[in-house]
Structures are given as structure tokens and as C-alpha cells.
């Protein structure tokens, strides 16, 4: 087949008489900042600030995001620009000036690297005890790197080939995966270890491939992890989830990529074999759903029988507005995506720049829900993925003269905690679970003593 015919064969129809032509994947990192054409219109100071911030926090963006998603007439306020390009406020003033001064006096690389390492360790690179409490162990007590097993039914797997992304989100709670420090990275390359662990875990029904983004992998590598799960010995694995931002940042992965057709056939095989296949698509703004390529990719995935569920955090500068969420959920429903979660920005990285008070987060969720139909009200939240579990803010009310947050576990380290309501004193400034205190004069949460015992046991094993 000629090169021209191969290209034509990979074109994916959008509508009658229309096609999405294949595009080359072109990516930029910190060393390429000066090559990103639209940045030339910005001041030298703004470009220097980006260089400083991207020395500490990972930066990666591709041409599709630059050309299709960012409104360059509205920078720096544009939400997708904030989502992908570093801003000075993402570092504290002290951290920013430390690195900026090193650049101003032409410090050597070793001195800059040492300062960066010290700053990163102050940014809580692995929140919610991920490294200490979530990683399972084999029968001889060896830690199984690249896996997390926090909740009884669900195992997370971090394939080593999927530990990058087509572009990086500036707020990413897994930013430590991308900074080149192996000590901070969670990843595994051995499919056999994953399969061996799952064979001995009959209570596990759900397997989540995460990262990074597993959709940066070649299909043949992804198939190596997935296809063995179709055998009878893995009948207890009912659901295969794949966490991805590719539908937003590189929808051509499902359209004109060299192995896009293989990927589609893999998803079809998984569905036909009786697995529930769910793409856990990360969306932060409705604009990510508006391009022809994004919509064509969504249709192609849905044609396989796989389900797309939309999730993402509530974040300042990007989507802290109920109208944005209402439009996002309405658009998702129209395109056949199931709204799934609104998360609270995690306590890591540039959290001071992105976090929204819990009281405001609940107001945004409530006001957005009031604007949508029941089909969009499948989105749960605002949810904090804290160490004890996923804690949902159900509302703010007054009980016995005390203003309180109403909370519940959507998931918990102990399944018995799930769906049990509990109450926190109202605090308009609180942004995370550890900022809250029990209401009604209680000394501890109903789950706290058990959680502390669990944590003590796990940390003792980890030591």
C-alpha cells in the first residue's frame, strides 16, 4: 500500500463528506519554550517566569493543545492556558525568588538542581500516604511497586510505558511522576507480577490502569497487560478502567495514529469478552469537548461498546464557576459521556494557586447541579481523595444551632465506613479534610481510631 493510501485509510469520518486528517504528534518541554510561536508575543519577563516555574514543576504541551484549545487572545486568563502553561503564582514567592535568583546570577546546574530538589520535597509529592499505605505486598512481604490497593474492590496499576502524558496539567497531583526522580515515581513494567497478584485477590472486581496516561503506550504494550485478563482465571475482574487525558489533549490517538485501529479492536475484544471497559476521561473545561477531533474520538470509542466517564477536579483559575461545570456536564451527556466525579484539588504541588475552599466548592457543585437534568446528576462530589478514603461534601446545614459540613465516605479503607454520614464544624477557609474538626464537641471522627491503627500497622510494615 502506498504512503498516500495508508494516510487515507487512517482518516476518520466526522460527518458525511468530512474527515479528520492524521496529524503528527509534536511536543514541547521546558527547553523548547522559545520555540512555541505564540509565546513570542509575550513579554520577556513572562517568558522568564515560565522558565523559572517549569524548572520546579513539570511542563509539557503539544501542538494540538496550542492550536486547537487555547484562545491566545485571552491569555493569561484563558483556562486551557492556565491548565497547561506555568504561571508565576504556582510557586510561593520564596520558592520563585530562590530559583529566579539562581538563574539571574548564572548558577551552575548542580546548584539549581539541589535547590529544585529541596523545593519539590516541600510540595508533598505523594499525598494521602500513597507510597506508605497504598502499595500492596506479595506473600513474602516484598512491596509490589507500580500498584496501589487502597480499596477492597479496586487495584490501580501504573504501567511503566504509560508514565508520561501528551501534555501535563499544571495542577496535576501526580506531578512527581514526571520530574525524572526515580525515588518519587510509581511504575511497574512486569505484567506477570500484576497478573500473579490479581489471581490471589478474588475480592478485586475493578482494575484501573493509570499514570501518567496509559494511552501514550503503543497498543501492543497495552494489549500485553489486558489480554491475559480475558482468560477464565480472571473472571472476578469485571471492570477494566483506563484513566486518560488523551481525549482532551491528543484525540488523534484514537483516530489517525499508526496503531489507532489496533487500539479500537482491542477495546472491542475486551467488551465482547464480557468485560466492562471504561475510559476514565479527565476533563477540566467544556472547551476540551468542542473540537471536531475530540468528538470524532468520542464517537469511535463509544462504537466499541466501551463507556466513557468524565471526571476532574474543581480548580481556581480554570473552572471555579458553576456555569462552566453545568456546560461541561451537559455537553458530556449530549456526547454520550457519563459525568462521574468532581474532585477537590489535592494537597500537593501548586495547591495554594489552585485550591478552592470546601464551602465554595460545595456552592459551585450545588449551583451547577441546579442547572442540569437528572442525566447529568450522576457526577459525585465535591470529593476529597484523602488517606482514609474518598470523602464527599454533601452540604452545609445547621443542626442544634451549630453550622456544619455534612460529609460521607464514597470509598473507605474500611468498607464499613462507606455511606455513613458524619459532621464537621463549618470552616469557610478549610480546603482539605485535615483542616476540618468534628462537630458537636466530639473529640474524634467515628473512623479516626480505626484509621490511626491501620496507618500505624502499614507504616510499621513499610519500615
Q: 34-89, pLDDT tens digit by residue?
A: 999 999 999 999 999 999 999 999 999 999 999 999 999 999 999 999 999 999 99
pLDDT at 462: 64
In the structure, what pLDDT confidence band is assigned to residue 7 with cuts at 50, 70 and 90? Answer: very low
In the structure, what pLDDT confidence band is assigned to residue 129 with cuts at 50, 70 and 90? Answer: low
Q: 159-188, pLDDT tens digit by residue?
A: 988 889 999 999 998 767 776 666 655 555
| Residue 97 falls in which region: left (phi positive, over 0), alpha (psi -120 to 50) or beta | alpha
Closest CA to 164 of 117, 238, 218: 218
pLDDT at 414: 96
pLDDT at 187: 53
Domain boundaries, the chain: 22-122
The average pLDDT across 82-105 equals: 97
In the structure, what pLDDT confidence band is assigned to residue 16 with cuts at 50, 70 and 90? Answer: very low
In the structure, what pLDDT confidence band is assigned to residue 9 with cuts at 50, 70 and 90? Answer: very low
What pTM was computed for the model? Answer: 0.92
Which cell is 198 given?
490479581
Q: 231-282, pLDDT tens digit by residue?
A: 999 999 999 999 999 999 999 999 999 999 999 999 999 999 999 999 999 9
Are 296 and 23 in contact by the 8 Å Cβ rule? The answer is no
Helix pair 219-226, 260-272: axis angle to 10 deg:
20
- Residue 152 has phi, psi (to 5 degrees) of -50, -45
pLDDT at 222: 95
Q: 331-384, pLDDT tens digit by residue?
A: 999 999 999 999 999 888 889 999 999 999 999 999 999 999 999 999 999 999
- Statement: residue 5 has pLDDT above 90: no
Per residue in 127-154, is it b (16+ CB within 10 Å) or e — as a string?
bbbbbebbbeeeeeeeebbbbbbbbeeb
- Statement: residue 130 has pLDDT above 70: no
Which cell is 94 given?
520564596
What one-character DSSP code corresponds to residue 141? Answer: S
Are 415 and 450 in contact by the 8 Å Cβ rule? The answer is no
High-pLDDT (> 70) share of the chain, %: 91
The average pLDDT across 415-420 equals: 96
- Statement: residue 30 has pLDDT above 60: yes
Are 173 and 130 in contact by the 8 Å Cβ rule? The answer is no
Gap between the Cα atoms of 41 and 73, Å rounded: 11
Comparing 422 with 10, which gets the higher pLDDT? 422
Average pLDDT, the chain: 91
Q: First and final CA of the chain: distance in angstroms?
A: 59
Amino acid at each position: 500500500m502506498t504512503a498516500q493510501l495508508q494516510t487515507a485509510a487512517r482518516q476518520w469520518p466526522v460527518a458525511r463528506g468530512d474527515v479528520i486528517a492524521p496529524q503528527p504528534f509534536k511536543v514541547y518541554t521546558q527547553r523548547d519554550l522559545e520555540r512555541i510561536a505564540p509565546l513570542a508575543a509575550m513579554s520577556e519577563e513572562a517568558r522568564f517566569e515560565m522558565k523559572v516555574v517549569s524548572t520546579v514543576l513539570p511542563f509539557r504541551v503539544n501542538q494540538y493543545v496550542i492550536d486547537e484549545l487555547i484562545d491566545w487572545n485571552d491569555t493569561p486568563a484563558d483556562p486551557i492556558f492556565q491548565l497547561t502553561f506555568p504561571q508565576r503564582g504556582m510557586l510561593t514567592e520564596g520558592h520563585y525568588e530562590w530559583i529566579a535568583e539562581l538563574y539571574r546570577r548564572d548558577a551552575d546546574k548542580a546548584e539549581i538542581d539541589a535547590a529544585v530538589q529541596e523545593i519539590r520535597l516541600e510540595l508533598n509529592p505523594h499525598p494521602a500516604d500513597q507510597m506508605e499505605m497504598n502499595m500492596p505486598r506479595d506473600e513474602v512481604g516484598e512491596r509490589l511497586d507500580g500498584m496501589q490497593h487502597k480499596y477492597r474492590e479496586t487495584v490501580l496499576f501504573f504501567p511503566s510505558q504509560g508514565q508520561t502524558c501528551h501534555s501535563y496539567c499544571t495542577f496535576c497531583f501526580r506531578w512527581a511522576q514526571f520530574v525524572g526522580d526515580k525515588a518519587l515515581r510509581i511504575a511497574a513494567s512486569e505484567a506477570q507480577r500484576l497478573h500473579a497478584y490479581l489471581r490471589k485477590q478474588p475480592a478485586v472486581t475493578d482494575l484501573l490502569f493509570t499514570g501518567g496516561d496509559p494511552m501514550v503506550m503503543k497498543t501492543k504494550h497495552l494489549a500485553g497487560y489486558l489480554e491475559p485478563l480475558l482468560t477464565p482465571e480472571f473472571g472476578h475482574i469485571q471492570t477494566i478502567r483506563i484513566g486518560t487525558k488523551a481525549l482532551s489533549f491528543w484525540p488523534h490517538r484514537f483516530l489517525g495514529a499508526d496503531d489507532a485501529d489496533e487500539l479500537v479492536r482491542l477495546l472491542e475484544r475486551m467488551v465482547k469478552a464480557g468485560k466492562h471497559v471504561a475510559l476514565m476521561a479527565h476533563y477540566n473545561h467544556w472547551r476540551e469537548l468542542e473540537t471536531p477531533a475530540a468528538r470524532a474520538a468520542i464517537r469511535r470509542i463509544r462504537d466499541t461498546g466501551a463507556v466513557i466517564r468524565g471526571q476532574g477536579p474543581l480548580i481556581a483559575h480554570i473552572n471555579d464557576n458553576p456555569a462552566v461545570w453545568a456546560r461541561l456536564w451537559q455537553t458530556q451527556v449530549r456526547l454520550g459521556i457519563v459525568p462521574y466525579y468532581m474532585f477537590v484539588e489535592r494537597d500537593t504541588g501548586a495547591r495554594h494557586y489552585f485550591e478552592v475552599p470546601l464551602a465554595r466548592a460545595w456552592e459551585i457543585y450545588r449551583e451547577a447541579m441546579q442547572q442540569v437534568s437528572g442525566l447529568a446528576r450522576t457526577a459525585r462530589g465535591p470529593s476529597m481523595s484523602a488517606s482514609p478514603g474518598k470523602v464527599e461534601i454533601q452540604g452545609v446545614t445547621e443542626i442544634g444551632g451549630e453550622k456544619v459540613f455534612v460529609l460521607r465516605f464514597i470509598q473507605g479503607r474500611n468498607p464499613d465506613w462507606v455511606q455513613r454520614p458524619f459532621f464537621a464544624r463549618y470552616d469557610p477557609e478549610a480546603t482539605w479534610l485535615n483542616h476540618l474538626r468534628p462537630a458537636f464537641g466530639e473529640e474524634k471522627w467515628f473512623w479516626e481510631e480505626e484509621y490511626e491503627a491501620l496507618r500505624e500497622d502499614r507504616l510499621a510494615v513499610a519500615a
